[in-house]
Chain A
Amino acid sequence: MGTFHHDKHELHGITVIVETSASEVFIGRCDDIVAQGVILRDADVHREGDPASVGKSRAEFLDHARRFGVWPNLKHILVPADRVREISRLGEI
């Protein structure tokens, strides 16, 4: 028993990895996928060269997320559709 939202994309509620064309990777709970892009909640991001990502490689970021999840540093974000390269489920890596 639980709540479902049949008006949203099938990945609604699923924690996903969103790879972009800009050497950045977002991980968060998919709220919906719309024409404008991927809407994530409670997400985090790793960007190559970003001071906020210093000290943690992309591989380390992904490995920590795979084992424990991500910190909700971005409560709500839209990853623009034209930057989205790939979407996958975090639970499947």
Chain B
Amino acid sequence: MPYSPLLIRPMREELTSAGFSELTTAEAVDRLLDETQGTTLVVVNSVCGCAAGGARPGARLAIQEAPRPDRLATVFAGQDLDATARVRARFGDIPPSSPSMGLFKDGELVWFLPRHRIEGRDALAVAADLRTAFAAHCAPVAVPS
């Protein structure tokens, strides 16, 4: 049975208040991920306290400093079913899990963090993984001369 929208609203807002765009339809996912230039981080959010409790603050921490993805987005597993299914289709041959995160570069998935790599870890550890991925795949911010 789906959780009450009232219960999950703070969990959505934990990401949207940090600048993540919430994708609630398959069409919105396509519009974002059809973009073939730059980098996009997609967080598959979930209610699960065992893992999402570290995933959301970890994602918030990781984007505080450059390099960071050009675009930030999120879908909510178990709530926004079509959007979540479309994101998972974009993950290709990777089993579904939530929470999880994928980093796309020029339209291709280049990095993925499955749920079991989030479970039991704190926000700092999750953020460290994300920053390593950002350093590898995201362009540094140009510094005006």
- Residue numbers of A with Cβ under 8 A of B are 1-4, 12-15, 67-72, 89-91
Contacts and interface: CB of A to CB of B under 8 A. Distances in A.
Q: Is the interface of B mostly helix, strand, loop or mixed?
A: loop
Contacts of A12: 50
Given A1-B53, A72-B96, A90 B116 contact: yes
B11 interface: yes
Contact of A72 (B49, B94, B95): B95
A2 B11 contact: yes
Given A2-B50, A3-B47, A68 B11 contact: no
Instruction: State the 4 A-B residue pairs at the shortest beta-carbon distance, nearest first.
Output: A2-B49, A13-B50, A15-B116, A2-B53
A34 to B, nearest CB: 18
B50 A91 contact: no
Contacts, number: 60
A13 B119 contact: yes
Given A1-B53, A2-B11, A89-B120, 15 more contacts: A1-B10, A1-B11, A2-B52, A3-B48, A3-B49, A4-B49, A13-B48, A14-B119, A14-B120, A15-B116, A69-B115, A69-B116, A71-B95, A90-B116, A91-B121
B95 A68 contact: yes
Nearest to A5: B49
* Interface footprint category on B: 20 to 34
Interface in B86-128: 94-97, 112, 114-121
A69 B50 contact: no
